[in-house]
Structure 1
Amino acid sequence: MLTVCPHCQTINRVPAERSANDPTCAKCKNALLDGQPVELTDANFDRFISRTELPIVVDFWAAWCGPCQMMAPQFKQAAERFKGRVIFAKVDSDNNPRAAARFGIRSLPTLVMLRGGAEVNRQAGAMQTAQIAAWVNNAAQGS
């Protein structure tokens, strides 16, 4: 499967059976699927979501948003749970308005699950780790 390096944007081919074994980028040698949320920007958003074959859960958030701040550690824990199976990404919608506008983000936080660059599910509002995990599982089964 293909995955884009969150550090240098190189497209890497990772055997599916090795996705949970801490693969590294062929170019920059940084971790590809380390179970940590990836920061996406307007500059790298399209390449990352369109060329990565794993499902991607994007948290659209803002620094001024209290519920976003409360959910951040929960989102990080969920990312760790799905290491190697689902990529979790964060987009600061204030600093990256094109990515937020592309998905019509109107409330924060909003989670969007993507596959092949296309939206397959969405959930607005802050959630706990278990709720995020349940939503990801349900969204992944429905796609």
Structure 2
Amino acid sequence: MADGLRLTCTTCGQANRVPASRLTDSPKCGSCGDPLITGKVAELDATSHDKATRGDDLPLLVDYWAPWCGPCRAMAPEFSRAAQALAPHARLAKLNTEDFPAISQRAGIRGIPALILYHRGKEIARLAGARPAAEIVAFVQSKIPVSAR
């Protein structure tokens, strides 16, 4: 499959190959059957975070947040709107820094909310602070050529 994109299932952590031409067809994980691209924000754990940020071929924007953070909670609906707008060309996910402090330390998170854009195993860019959906979409589009709905 020459045009296959590698996508990590955010539910089970399984790597999947999806033809680029089938991204809009609601591809499902070959292991657990959950959707790979939903237009919704995925909750990451340590395993799915590491696999997706290190190997996915689709851009992944991760929101590093904590439940006690007011700006993080205020931005959550905006982040969800951005996820809908960017699907299926990019995926958005969240990682709770209180549940996974080692990951936030390894990623060099100094303040939250912090957005890090990953693509093909590399960190592309960072954005600090709560943002409206339009700014989140514009941030992703300015770094990687993706379209939005």
Alignment of 1:44-55 (within 5 A): 44-55=48-59
Residue in structure 2 matched with residue 68 of structure 1 by the alignment: 72
Cα drift, residue 116 of structure 1? 2.2
2-side partners of 1:121 and 1:137: how far apart? 11
Identity of aligned residues (%): 37
Residue in structure 2 matched with residue 13 of structure 1 by the alignment: 17
- Partner residue of 2:26 out of 15, 22, 28: 22
Given that 1:4 and 1:11 are in contact with CA atoms closer than 8 Å, whether structure 2 keeps it comes out as yes
Given that 2:62 and 2:93 are in contact with CA atoms closer than 8 Å, whether structure 1 keeps it comes out as yes
2-side partners of 1:101 and 1:119: how far apart? 15
Alignment of 1:1-143 (within 5 A): 1-141=5-145
1-side partners of 2:102 and 2:144: how far apart? 25
Give the total of aligned pairs: 141
2-side partners of 1:117 and 1:41: how far apart? 17
The verdict on how the C-alpha distance between 1:26 and 1:43 changes in structure 2, with shifts beyond 3 A counting, is: closer
Kindly report the root-mean-square deviation, in angstroms, between the aligned alpha carbons of the 2 structures: 1.1
Q: In structure 2, list runs of 5 or more residues that go unmatched.
A: none
With the length of structure 1 as denominator, give the TM-score of the two structures: 0.93
2-side partners of 1:117 and 1:37: how far apart? 20
2-side partners of 1:42 and 1:12: how far apart? 18
Given that 2:12 and 2:48 are in contact with CA atoms closer than 8 Å, whether structure 1 keeps it comes out as no
Given that 1:58 and 1:113 are in contact with CA atoms closer than 8 Å, whether structure 2 keeps it comes out as yes
